[in-house]
Amino acid sequence: MKELLTFILTGGGSLFVLLASIGLLRMPDLYTRIHPSSKAATLGTVLILIGIAVHFEDGAIAVRAVLISLFLFLTAPVASHMIARAGFLSGVPLAEETSIDELSGRYDLETHCLSCPPAGAEEE
């Protein structure tokens, strides 16, 4: 039973990492490539770590796997945000297929603040 659970977890994790790799190749620009790298790759890595913890049945390995997973879940969104922000500030263009650019004309590059609320947004 342990072998089956290990196979399912590590196989599922490997599938998510593979899908993240394909997503990195297929997405048209920096901003859409961030999604598979931060979501699918993180989930795949965590599933592989849980599979390793189940396989070895050792408390020390399980604690390490949980700590690494927690670290990944905390740092991946922050890193993705910083990459997207650096790309925007350095002028990386959006893909031609992108239909909405919510920051266009609203972001002040000197103060790094939004200049006004989005059109159509209701104030509370």
Amino acid 5: pLDDT? 96
Q: Going residue by residue through the chain (124 aa), what tens digit of pLDDT does each one get?
A: 999 999 999 999 999 999 999 999 999 999 899 988 889 999 999 999 999 999 999 999 999 999 999 999 999 999 999 998 888 888 888 888 888 887 777 777 777 777 765 556 555 4
The DSSP line for 61-82 is HHHHHHHHHHHHHHHHHHHHHH
> What is the CATH number that goes with domain 2-96?
1.10.287
Q: Where are the domains of the chain?
A: 2-96
Q: pTM, whole model, 2 decimals?
A: 0.78
